[in-house]
Every structure is written in C-alpha cells, then in structure tokens.
Structure 1
Amino acid sequence: MVTTSVLYLPIGRKTFDLQVGQNIFEQSAVWLKETCATVCHPDGILTSVEELETFLESVETKEIDTIVYQSVTFADGEFIAKVIESMDQPVIVWSVREPSVGGRLRLNSLTGGNSTSHVLRDRKHPFSFVFGNPDEDKLQTLLKQQIQVNRLIWSLKRLTIGVVGEHPAGFFFSDVNEEQLQSALGVKILPIDLYQAFEAAKKLPEEEWKPVIHQAEQQVVGLNRSDETVKRFAQFTTYLQKYIGEHQIGGVAIRCWPDFFIELGAAACSTLSHLTEGGVVSSCESDIHGSISMYILRELSGGKAPYLGDLVHIDEAKNSVVFWHCGAGAYSLAHPETGATAGVHPNRKMGLTMDFGLKAGKVTIFRLSYSQQGYRLLVMKGEALDSPQAFDGTSVEVKLTNHAEETLYRLMKEGFEPHYALVYDDIADLLVKFGKQVGIETVVL
C-alpha cells in the first residue's frame, strides 16, 4: 500500500452514459482504497461545477498530496479550473476507454482528459496523464507510480533541511541558492549554528543522552560505551534529534570537519549514520543537495535508508565503481556477515565512525544536481556486489548497468558533483517520471 492521501474526483456530464460511468467510478474507488492509505471521494460522479464546489468545501484538503481527476465522461475545463483555484497539489488526469465502438459515443472520456490537460498545462499546474480502465494492470502500474511521484512532490514542498554549519572551504557543490531551490522544488533551508549546538549538546544531562548509546549498542558491533567519543556522539545526536523534532526538519546537512574533531573531540559520522537509520536523512560536508537527494530516494523507495558517498575507484574489468565515505552509513546497510562495525575516522583516527562494507543488491544511484545553468537530475542503475570492504570507512562496489568507463568520463565531462546518493531499490523509472513532472532535465547514464 502506498503511504499517500488521495483526493479522487470522478467528473461527468448527465448527457453521457452515466450508468456505465457509475461502474467505472465504483471500480476505481475500490482499487484506489486498496492501493492508497487514505482516499477521499464523493458518493457518486460529480456532474456540475456546483456539485464539485460543494464537495470540495466539505473536504479537508491540507493533508491531500495528490488529486486523481477522472474524466468519467467528457466535461469542459470549468471543472478542473475550479479545483486548482484553491489546491496546489499535482493532478493525475485519468481518461477511460469507450465501452463500445459504433453508434453513440457514450463517454467521450478521452476528449475530457484532453481538455483538462490543456487547462492544466496552460495554467502551469503540475499534472500527468494516464489512460485505461481500472482493472487493467498497465494502468494500475502507471497510476501507482504517478501517485508515488506526486506524494514526493507534495512532501518536498513541505520539506525543511537543517544546515548545521557552513560547508568547508572550496566545497562549492555543497552550497545552495535558496531562492532557486524554493522555486524549483519548494524545499526550505534552516541554518543551525554548529558551535551553539556543540555547547548545548555538552550540557545535556546524562539521562537524556544515555538512551542513544543503548539504542546504538543494539545495532553497532564493537561499540564501547566508555569511550569519550561515544559519549560525544550520543550528546550531539540527542541535541540534534530534539532540534529536528521541534522544528519539523526532514533532513540535515552537517559541516563535519574540521570542527567536530577540534571542538567536540569526536567524528560526526556516527551521528549521520544514526539519524539516517532513524529516518532523518543526513549528509556530511554540509551538502544540502546531497541531503535532498537522499530524501528523494528514501521517499520513492518506501522509506529505505539511502547512502551518500564519493566515487573513488573504477575497475574496468568488472565494469564496477566504488562509492566510499569516511565512516557514515545507516546501520542497516552493512553487509550481514559483519554488521555495522564501530571504527575510527580513517584520516583523523578519532571515533565514533562506522567501518563496514555495504550489503549486496540492486541499487539506484541519484543526484539532484545544481549549477549556474540550473537544476538537473542524474540517474544510474547497478548491482552492489558481494565484495570485500574496499577501503576503511564505509564503501560499496557497484557493477553499473551501463559501461563503467564511459559513464565515468561522461560524469566528469558533465561536471556532476562528487557526492552520489544510492538506495537499495530499482526506482529509476520513478525518478525519470519525477523529473518530467517537475520540469527538471534528467540525465540517465
């Protein structure tokens, strides 16, 4: 079942065959309720703009994330114009098949969908179109995918990324143009003072941060609770979790070095791992678009923990590449033979970090990329191999679907950022649909 809240609007006119239309409505409502967490719909087909308006006034639309507008029969553009007067949610326009060919045109649903799509495009309202009857497998697949994409678009408009400290010098890719981000996706940025966070975290009473250590012990092999860096990890994580809850933050981008080592006396990696495992995506080096990339993957994969890493190695003979980072990775991503293992930062030799190779499985690699030319999406697919851990820290070897060396040179030529998000799922098609829906160029490699 898709975690989504759908407003289903069956639209028709009495001059067409509403007996056939009623069957379409009933089948559609049943399927939507079986597929989506919440579905709101009228008792029958809405046959006038006045009926539509009355129904909309009775609906709490705030939590609706997608509108399924079904042209049960032909209806003019007044209907959809009334809907988007007060709602900004993306629309799925759904036309159904004619019940018979020859004689009277009984539904004329396709023309209704055409008219509706024209209005939406003309008024620059996000929409997609699907065609088919509610019992068709292909139609059901398309609807389910588009509902997931619409849910993502809705949630991005309500997403706040907490940026804990400015990005390190020269890490230009970690920065953001807030106005352009808001315009493109609706995501908001909330700056958080890193040094104030350090001081507040150190002052937390022990009874507040001890549960984080207990929780981590259940998932991390070799965690030493008496280590001072483990205490610092728990303190900072606890402080940030409280701040996240109070400000309804959906993801964070954290300046990890050198400040964590110098001022806190511990690595940031374990906090990133812990938060991502708990559902709040977290990127290092204050990579804002990296955090958003992770969020998009988590949403489209049904809540699976994503990973963020550098592309650090290529093996032409195996057609594989390695993604790595210093020691951040959600606990559940570890290879099952080792589990998530506690370690120290490979360069600074300070804990607490994760030190493991990631598990095997199909993966989608993704980046919400930004340059002075605007936004674009990068989408790649591959298979995470059951390989020995490649480097200290966290890493995964991925056999790419396409030619690895050609992909490498294309990435460099196109100037994509060096942080890549990855999730254990095949959601490439959903990402392409997302790109089309929001009007962002999508590069598939």
Structure 2
Amino acid sequence: MFGDYKIVLGVAPTRRDVFPPREFALKTKAAAMKRVYEILGDIPDLEVVTIEDLVPDGLLMDIADIPKIVDRFQSCHVDALFVPHVNFGQEEAVAKLAKALNKPVLLWGPRDEVPPEDFSTRQSDTQCGLFVSGKALKRHKIPFTYIENCWLDDPSLPGQIEDFIRTVSVVKKFRGMRIGQVSVRPRQFLSTRINENQLLEKFQVDVVALTAAEVLDEIEAVLKEKDEEFNKVRKDICDNTDHTGNREEELDNITALECAYLRLGRKYNLDAIAADCWSTYPKHLGIVPCFANGDTTEKGLPVACECDVHGALTTALLFAAARGEGTAFLADLTIRHPFNDNGELLWHCGPFPKSLAKDGVTPKLVECQGRYELKGGPLTVARFDDDEGNYQLFIDNAKGVDGPPTGGNYLWMETDNWPAWERKLVCGPYIHHIGVIHGDYARILREAVKYMNGVMPDRASRED
C-alpha cells in the first residue's frame, strides 16, 4: 500500500481532419507514437490507456467521439491526459476532452519536416497547431504542461515526459490526501496550528483524528501478537543499526509503535501521519518515538513529529515526486553554519530515516533516537503552509555539505543565498519545520502547483 505511485495515463493523439492529407498524418503518427510508447514503456509503474481501437485511425478529431473516449478513460481511472499532435491538431476536441476529464494535461508535438521542394502543401504544421491548442485550453481554464516542439530523437524528451508523470504523481497524492493526526500538538507549539476544515473544503485533504488511546491499544495488540510484521521490522532495525544503547524492552516498544502506525495507516488508508511526540509515548510506553517515526517514514508512510499536519503533507508530496526513488524527511531549521554564510543546519532529535545515513556511517540508535549524520548531495527543500487561508508551497534547491558534528540526526545544507531564504521563511507563511529529499524535484513540484487550485508556488527571492 505505502510507496505505491502507479499512474494511469490516457493517450489521445490528435490531427486536424481537413488538412493535410490523411496519409501524411498517419505517417507522422506512426513515427511519433512509436517513439512515445518506447519512452512511456521505460517509465516504471505506468499504465497506458489508448484510443487506438476506439475512434477512426486512433486519432482525436471529431468532438462526437469525445463521450466514448471519456467513458474509456474514466472507466480505466486515468490520472492524466497526453495529447500528442501528429499534425496541426484539433484544438476544439483537445480542449473539450481535457475539460471533461479534469486531469493534468500534457501538450506536445514533434518538429515538422522540411517543406516540400515543389512548394506543395506542407505535411503537418504541428507547431502551429500547438499554439492554438494552448489557447483553447487557456480559454477553457484548463491548466496544462507543455513540452517544447522537438525532434523525436531529442535527448531531453524522455526526461520531460517522465517529469510530467512525476508531476501527476504529486497532484494525485495531493488531491484527497488523508493525514492521520495522533493526539494534539504541544500546547505552546502555536506554529503547527492548522485549519482542517479549509484543507478539506479547498483541497479534499482529510485530517483523520486518532486518539492516543487508540494508538496505545494498537501497540498493546502488536506486543501481544508479535506477528510476522513485528519480527521483520525488529530484525531490520537490529540488523541495520548500532542499537547497543537500548534495552530489549525499548526495542520491542519501538518496533510495536512502528507496526501500530503501519496497521492504522492501512486501516484508515492514510498517506501520512502527524503525531504527538512530547508526552504520549514517554509517559505510557517509556520511549520517545523519534526513531520509530523515521523508520515508519522509510517504509513510505511519512510520520511528522509535533502534530505538524502541514509538514506531513509536505513530506508526502516529496515522496510522490520521487515515485519511490528517494526517502523524504522533515527537519528543523536550527542554526546557521558557523563557517559558511549560506549554510544552515537541518536537524532533529532522531527521526531521520536510517537509510539516509552518510556513507560509511552505521546508524546509531541511542535511547530510542537516531544519532547519525545524513549523506550530502543535491537536495529539494519544501514547505506547505498558509497565512489567513492563502496557501503556498515553498520550493527550492540546496545541497548537503560538511559541517561541525552535533547530536541527534543532522545534515548541513548550503543554499545559494541563505539571507534571502531566512527572510522568506521567517516572514512567512512558514515555520521552522521543512521537508527535504535528496535529488532535484523542484521543477516537478512547481509544475504540480499549477494543478493545485488555491495553492501558490513560492521560493526565496533571487533579488535579495
């Protein structure tokens, strides 16, 4: 269940029905779609639904065909629409199909051939049609993603198509996300206050209330049963950490908490969890939940500490952008790098996934908390938050760098202009919690915001 990022893509190539001659359009279609299907076939967890056997020549031309195309795509639960133009295209049909589906749309067509030497009609004018299809989509208020008109062997084409699939993954995760909230935020933690009614009304993001009693009951059941999942999780922890600083009972309780989260995640179909970590588990279980939070996150169910619902949502979006290729984490922005004016410490008391430990470092588990530095490299940094109901998604790039050691889990990051970042994050609408993932997914997240009606993209000003 967790870590499932399958996407279903509806593909509807289009041509203008009145010109040029049909044989030219079919020739272009054969070459273009051969390349498109090769590219799509290399993208993992992607199902393609076509109109090949549904409409004449397998091409979107006649608006009378739209109802049956919509019926097929909806019955197959497509998550997005791709309309390759094999000549000028039929912008009316493109816009009406996109409007009926209300899914992310990808617009692209191959570059046109050399005009005929005898001055006869050009074979395609594909680029010309892309201009009008773009306008038609705008007129219908349909957001879309555009890949520049390019040759079929352009080396950037596969990556751009895959980026669109990642964008769709983020949008799919955002729409209708379910976030479990365990207990309540710490009393003085005003920064993690949220408006769950707005999240539901604006974005269909549902905050699912879980009492501490329900989680503790689930933990008790796990400890009583000690089933196969319990044994597997415990073995993974013991095999992949230096856990000598913890008692056997503590290891059992860490494992039980993680298994309880996984069980409740499956029971309530959760995409992420925002949990109390200051009082419930130290008082009733004798452990802090830090490492268990990170280890649950590692399995594709992000757990945000201090009941940070927006932080949990952000982390889930980062997972969706990576589509299983990376593990996100939620960090505190804590102190500036003492020797690098553009550096900042990403830290927390021990909830970073153990798989992210720096190369050559054995993750230490000390008093139920992780104690290890994370690996460096390119980073994508994000935060979903709001001010008076105006929602924004901060998105930017940084890189992990060396810095002084400290306790807990940590990674020093270097930005292009930390003072600009600091002003942006302090002045809002953000807090000290920030979502992070290794790799560059910033452009994917910015493109996804286009489809998140009511959310604005944000970043540190490059002019500051």
TM-score greater than 0.5 by the shorter chain: yes
| Partner of residue 128, structure 1 | 145
Asked if 2 retains the 8 angstrom alpha-carbon contact of 1:164 and 1:254, the reply is yes
Confirm whether residue 21 of structure 1 aligns to residue 25 of structure 2.
yes
Matched position secondary structure for 2:315: helix
Q: 1:148 aligns with which of 166, 169, 172?
A: 166
Deviates further, 325-334 or 414-423: 414-423
| Partner of residue 347, structure 1 | none
Q: Distance in 2 between matches of 1:187 and 1:27?
A: 42
| Partner of residue 362, structure 1 | 378
Deviates further, 318-327 or 205-214: 205-214
1:443: how far off? 2.3
TM-score by length of 2: 0.85
1:159: how far off? 2.5
Q: Distance in 1 between matches of 2:236 and 2:159?
A: 39
Q: Distance in 1 between matches of 2:29 and 2:386?
A: 43
Q: 1:39 aligns with which of 28, 32, 48?
A: 48
Q: Distance in 2 between matches of 1:19 and 1:172?
A: 66
1:181: how far off? 2.5
Question: CA distance change for structure 1 residues 261 and 253 in 2, over 3 Å: closer, same or farther?
Answer: same
Asked if 1 retains the 8 angstrom alpha-carbon contact of 2:395 and 2:442, the reply is yes
1:415: how far off? 4.6
Asked if 2 retains the 8 angstrom alpha-carbon contact of 1:283 and 1:308, the reply is yes
Deviations 1:18-71 (Å, cap 9, x if unpaired)?
333223323333333333332222223233223443344344544422110223
Seq. identity, % = 19
**Structure 2 letter corresponding to 1:265:** G
**Structure 1 letter corresponding to 2:436:** L
Q: Distance in 1 between matches of 2:211 and 2:194?
A: 17
| Partner of residue 207, structure 1 | 226
1:224: how far off? 6.5
Any residues of structure 2 matched to 1:111-126 within 5 Å, and which?
111-126=128-143
Gaps of 5+ in 2: 41-45, 53-57
Asked if 2 retains the 8 angstrom alpha-carbon contact of 1:184 and 1:438, the reply is no
Deviates further, 81-90 or 302-311: 81-90
| Partner of residue 54, structure 1 | 68
1:78: how far off? 4.0
Question: CA distance change for structure 1 residues 28 and 188 in 2, over 3 Å: closer, same or farther?
Answer: farther
Q: Distance in 1 between matches of 2:413 and 2:50?
A: 45
| Partner of residue 320, structure 1 | 343
Question: CA distance change for structure 1 residues 375 and 58 in 2, over 3 Å: closer, same or farther?
Answer: closer
Q: 2:399 aligns with which of 374, 383, 387?
A: 383
Q: 2:411 aligns with which of 379, 396, 414?
A: 396
Q: 2:284 aligns with which of 247, 252, 263?
A: 263
Q: Distance in 1 between matches of 2:47 and 2:76?
A: 13
Question: How many residues are matched?
Answer: 435
**Structure 1 letter corresponding to 2:39:** T
Asked if 2 retains the 8 angstrom alpha-carbon contact of 1:53 and 1:82, the reply is no
Q: Distance in 1 between matches of 2:388 and 2:433?
A: 18
Q: Identify which of structures 1 and 2 has the higher relative contact order when contacts are C-alpha pairs closer than 8 Å and 6+ apart.
A: 2
Q: Distance in 2 between matches of 1:123 and 1:431?
A: 23
Q: Distance in 2 between matches of 1:180 and 1:100?
A: 54
Q: Distance in 1 between matches of 2:51 and 2:372?
A: 53
TM-score by length of 1: 0.88
CA RMSD of aligned residues (A): 2.6
Gaps of 5+ in 1: 345-351
